[in-house]
Chain A
Amino acid sequence: NAGVTQTPKFQVLKTGQSMTLQCAQDMNHEYMSWYRQDPGMGLRLIHYSVGAGITDQGEVPNGYNVSRSTTEDFPLRLLSAAPSQTSVYFCASSPEPNTGELFFGEGSRLTVL
């Protein structure tokens, strides 16, 4: 059971560089989301999707783009990395958008120098 798979697990970027964090799930979940985790702040929602072709912004969307071309994949793009984007990023999916629990990936630790 793969569940939610995130790559890469670790990444170091220089300010201004771009990159894509990959997320794939094999549970046929319609709902997928990206969070960032910073110490003392819990998890904050960046973007989410309720199905292929549908995305929306969360609490902290600036500097990030997403797309959802398939049910399985939900990549997160950093357009021009900034030190403030140093964080741990989690992808999560859910079988039912309103009452279902989230299934999380193992996280991607990003450092922007």
Chain B
Amino acid sequence: AQSVAQPEDQVNVAEGNPLTVKCTYSVSGNPYLFWYVQYPNRGLQFLLKYITGDNLVKGSYGFEAEFNKSQTSFHLKKPSALVSDSALYFCAVRDDNYGQNYVFGPGTRLSVLP
């Protein structure tokens, strides 16, 4: 079965500092990995995805993520955090052995302090 873990419920970072939001996954086949962001009282918005190819994926709003197959991780990063990045972040995985179903992690709340 596929699963996703986000080991930190909350991440606090000062504005201008680099940020990392962690994600690890478990699948039986090849993983398709995604990051989404949710602002208060809104639906989730797609940030970036890894399907195949380059392990470093760049996405919206200056975010990037690195796929690490040996560590089964897909951490989200940004070189310089903004207060407006404060939101709830979800990692999700699709296992190519399980067709079309996503599995989402529990979410990590990012707070960027001015």
Contacts and interface: CB of A to CB of B under 8 A. Distances in A.
B34 A58 contact: no
A64 interface: no
Interface in A85-99: 90, 92, 97-99
Interface stretch (B43-51, B67-75, B76-84): B43-51
For B42, B96, B102, the residue with the greatest tally of chain A CB atoms inside 10 Å of its CB is B102
Interface residues of B, number: 25
B99 interface: yes
Interface size class of A (residues with CB under 8 A): 20 to 34
Given A42-B90, A43-B90, A97-B99, A102 B44 contact: yes
Contacts of A31: 100
B99 A107 contact: no
Q: Which 9 A-B pairs have the closest CB atoms?
A: A104-B43, A97-B100, A42-B104, A101-B46, A43-B104, A42-B106, A104-B44, A99-B51, A106-B43
